[in-house]
Chains A and B, each alone.
Chain A
Amino acid sequence: MTEILTPELDERFRAAAAAAGLLDVAYDVFDDTAMGPLLVGVTDRGVCRISFDPEPERELELLARAYGARVLRSSRPIDRVHRELDEYLVGKRRAFDLDLDLRGQPEFYLRVLGELARVDYGETTTYGELAARAGNPKAARAVGTVMNRNPIPIVLPCHRVVGANGSLTGYGGGLHRKELLLRLEGAIL
């Protein structure tokens, strides 16, 4: 059956497309992480998306709308993110060394996410504290919205933001994942 497109040829095209710089977003899905399947997207500027959505079709539409229609699964551009996530999820990495692409985020979101990025491994903060650090102490609720829409969870550690009374409150990827990440980091027992 020589008419069948082999996986090798398929992968060769995907690698060539990325190497030629023709992709708006390269993405891949990591199937068996401790967090369940993860979809990771990168542009030429850096990581633009991490999603817990196991059904990527909707995610691809969103990526296409935000960054351009040339969205293609291609593993090579994701290699480094993959490695760092793997290391983090087995407890061998405490900080990520990755460029991020936050293009299109409103200014307030950028400020909040910038402050969020400074919350260290194994520590937690509250929505109100984060709001204050972003220059608007009354904006705890708005900060909650920013966390909920965090385009790059795990790397931008919104799991480290909890309620004023210490409750986990909520997580875009589901509370069980937030708990898992905080446990991994030793922030909760």
Chain B
Amino acid sequence: MVVAVPPFETFYESHKAEVFRFLTGKIGHDRAEDAFQETFLRALRAYPKLEHGEHLRAWVLTIANRIVIDGARRQRPHGELPELASEDGRPAFEDLAPLTDDLPPKERAAVVLRYGYDLGYDEIGAALGSTESAARQAASAGVRRIRREKQ
């Protein structure tokens, strides 16, 4: 069943505490404060584009994780950029490690590209050498698996 996107207030109240915990665990309290605000501002910008209210927790945590990674890149001096495991120019899946570690490779790729990099399913299908609908299925199977394992 497709769940309608809830009012942002409801979404924010449901996830703000966990997002803040996630951020403090990753980058410490001081930097987490700015990252927290940036996470939810980014979520607000993207919110009208969401088509349904499923997987919002995974969605906002990947945004938070993305901001952690961006922050780490900015902080490192040039020449010390972390080596991205990108044999073929695709983003490093390590970026979403805490959430996607245990997924089968295809699901993991689909989840990371969809929620971490905001690609459309057609682009993901192309990147993975498969189809749009296969990409959609892989992403949603991955998210379901993350949810099950977190419970």
Contacts and interface: CB of A to CB of B under 8 A. Distances in A.
Interface of A: 2-5, 9-10, 12-13, 16-17, 20, 22-23, 27, 57, 60-61, 63-64, 68-73
A17 B7 contact: no
Nearest to A59: B7
Given A5-B20, A13-B36, A71 B44 contact: no
Interface residues of B, number: 23
A69 B50 CA distance: 10
A17 to B, nearest CB: 6
Contacts of A10: 16
Interface in B29-54: 29, 33, 36-37, 40-41, 44-45, 47-48
Contacts of A3: 20-21, 24-25, 29
Nearest to B12: A72
Nearest to A22: B44
A16 B7 contact: no
Most chain A beta carbons < 10 A, residue from B8, B36, B45: B8
Contacts of B16: 5, 10
B108 to A, nearest CB: 28
Given A3-B24, A69-B5, A17 B36 contact: no
A17 B41 contact: yes
A17 B12 CA distance: 12
Interface in B75-113: none
27 contacts: A2-B24, A2-B29, A3-B21, A3-B25, A3-B29, A4-B20, A5-B36, A9-B37, A10-B16, A13-B37, A16-B37, A17-B41, A22-B44, A27-B9, A60-B7, A60-B9, A60-B10, A63-B7, A64-B7, A64-B8, A68-B48, A69-B6, A69-B8, A69-B48, A70-B47, A71-B7, A72-B8
